[in-house]
Amino acid sequence: MKWANVRLFAWHFWHNATKPRTFYLLYLIFLLLAAYAAVSGIQNHIAQNDIRKFHQEKARQSWEANPDKHPHRMAHFGTFAFRVNPPLGMFDHGLESFTGNTVFLEAHRQNSVNFSDATFSTGTLRFGELSIALLLQLVLPLILFFIGFSGIAADRENGTLKIVLSQGANWLEMILGKSLGLCGVALLFVAPILLVVIVVLIGYGAEVESDLLWLRLLIIGLGYMLFLFIVSTVAIIVSASSNTPKNALLRLLGIWLLLVVLLPKSAQALGNYWYPTPSKLAFQSAIEKEKIQTGDSHNPDDPFYNQLRDSVLAVHKVSEVTDLPFNYSGFVMREGEKISSELYKKHHADLLDIYESQNNITRFLALVNPYMAIKQLSMTFSGTDFSSYVDFQEQADTYRYQLSQKMNELQMVYISPKKKSGSEGKTHVVGHEHWEEFPDFHHRPMAFGNSFKAALPALVSMIVWLLFIFWLMMFTSKKAKAI
């Protein structure tokens, strides 16, 4: 294989593809769309984060404004955890619109994460969301197919293919060269977009923290290049193995529809079919059932709590809970919180396992579908994928647990042991300085290492695809016929 020939093919293809006026029209439309997507993405990112930040502060202000009161009242006063939109969320919206934004955190109750954009949408959201990522994943491959379908098939139809091959070029040089040429065209589309993303990130992105932002962007950028190279090569290979350009176009469109629309949708539908999500009632009542079995702090005759009380009394060598050196109700609540949180965590982990099983079909189909691989990769490194959402949920629940236990401990220490119950009004209170002492919820971005782990299947399948595409090039170049 002569590199000079490859270069010649690449340059020639690039030159031919970018010469016609229709190309510039297409290019202009794409750039305008990208600009619209970028502007709305940036504005949405800024507006959403402003809204969430404002409300996080507002919720905090009213938390701190509480007077001296019984700590259990504060445990139920609770607070809110607002999800922060990661900087790269303006580039790839991922699951942002489908995951809730905020969760109310209170003692012994795990509330759902509510107010996703999907719940406030008319249903038109399901047509898709306009983001720069969507343009790169869905529209650009189609454009590359439109440009590349006649790459070799047209030469075959008008007879120039024979001439070119008889003049010393070989098939591999031609396929690789034209693929690189088409990939060069793709670069024309990608470069300005990445440039804009970089500029915007420098301008606005720095306001929201993100773990290793630039490395994330680098991986995403390289991922898209690889993806577009794969797409370009597929276009040229299909063109090389089709008799007429029309056939090549039809096949490419079939491939696009299969990879971009049908496979992803059916993969998720299949996962949903095979691993059904339990109903909320089944989920909640399973937890409730187990809670009753281990011990129900609300039941006065509960054997578990009676035993707990007796052992605590024995250790402190007293006969009544009011003689203990600490507030017993606070102690019971602390133990109860520990048990119920563990239980919830266990069941929630099971639920997440079901979701993971559903999503795994999509994840494994990435091995045969580079579109799904780049989609996963892009979402994950942008911090808008499923794992980032779970990460937020866990942060919020950990904070909820700490808050409840802190309040229970305040109750144990500061509320008179003589007092059994009653948490209203101005008696049996703890100083309000404790409210300020407890730090506010702060949504930390997902660690890069975790994103990397989540994206590993996608990364592997991208590399497998790269190897496969080179093999396919070799294979086609041996099989292809000039006529």
Binding to other proteins (CB under 8 A) within 190-229 occurs at: none
Pick 124 or 167: Cβ nearer other proteins: 124
In the complex, what is the shortest distance from the CB of residue 474 to other proteins, in angstroms, rounded to a whole number?
29
Shortest CA distance to 327 belongs to which of 416, 406, 405? 416
Residues 373-392 that bind other proteins (CB under 8 A): 386, 389
Contact 76, 106 (CB under 8 A): yes
Task: Pick between residue 5 and residue 102 the one whose CB is nearest to other proteins.
Answer: 102
Q: Please, are residues 155 and 161 in contact by the beta-carbon 8 Å criterion?
A: yes
Shortest distance (Å) from residue 253 CB to other proteins: 7
| Spatial distance between the Cα atoms of 221 and 13, rounded to a whole number of angstroms | 24
CB of 97 to other proteins, least distance (A): 8
Residue 82, helix vs strand vs coil: strand
Task: Pick from 18, 97, 395, 450 the residue near other proteins by CB under 8 A.
Answer: 97
Backbone angles phi, psi at 211, to 5 degrees: -75, 120
Which residue of 85, 101, 369, 411 would you call a contact of other proteins, by CB under 8 A? 101
Establish if 319 lies at the interface with other proteins (CB under 8 A). Answer: no
44, 329, 382, 476: residue in contact with other proteins (rule CB under 8 A) = 44
129 sits near other proteins (criterion: CB under 8 A): yes
Site residues for other proteins, 50-79, by CB under 8 A, read: 51-52, 54-55, 58-59, 62, 66-67, 69, 73, 76-78
* DSSP bridge partners of 109: 106
Asked whether position 402 contacts other proteins by CB under 8 A, the answer is: no
CB 103 within 8 A of CB 63: no
Going from the C-alpha of 375 to that of each of 13, 389, 454, the distances in angstroms are 28, 16, 13
Using CB under 8 A as the binding rule, whether residue 399 contacts other proteins is answered as: no
- Quick check: 142 binds other proteins (CB under 8 A)? yes
134 and 37 Cβ atoms separated by less than 8 Å:
yes
Taking the least distance from each CB to other proteins, the nearer of 415 and 469 is 415
- Minimum separation from the CB atom of position 102 to other proteins (A): 6
CA 427 to chain centre: 48
Strand-pairing partners, residue 69, are 430
CB-wise, 123 or 325, nearer to other proteins?
A: 123
Q: Which stretch binds other proteins (CB under 8 A): 5-13, 165-173, 254-262, 412-420?
A: 254-262
How far is the first Cα of the chain from the last one, in angstroms, to the nearest whole number? 22
Q: Which of 15, 298, 418, 420 binds other proteins (CB under 8 A)?
A: 298
Among positions 13-42, residues that touch other proteins (CB under 8 A) are 33, 36-37, 40-41
Residues 370, 363: Cα–Cα separation, whole Å: 11
Hey, how many other C-beta atoms are within 10 angstroms of the C-beta on 482?
A: 13
From 9-17, 232-240, 259-267, 434-442, span contacting other proteins (CB under 8 A):
259-267
Q: Token pair for residue 25?
A: 């029209």
User: What is the closest distance, in whole angstroms, from the C-beta atom of residue 50 to other proteins in the complex?
Assistant: 9
Residue 108 in the binding site for other proteins (CB under 8 A): no
B/e letters for 364-384, b = 16+ CB within 10 Å, e = fewer, are: ebbbebbbbbbbbbbbbbbbb
Contact set for other proteins, span 447-466 (CB under 8 A) = none
CB of 458 closer than 8 Å to CB of 377: yes
CB atoms inside a 10 Å sphere around CB 390 = 18
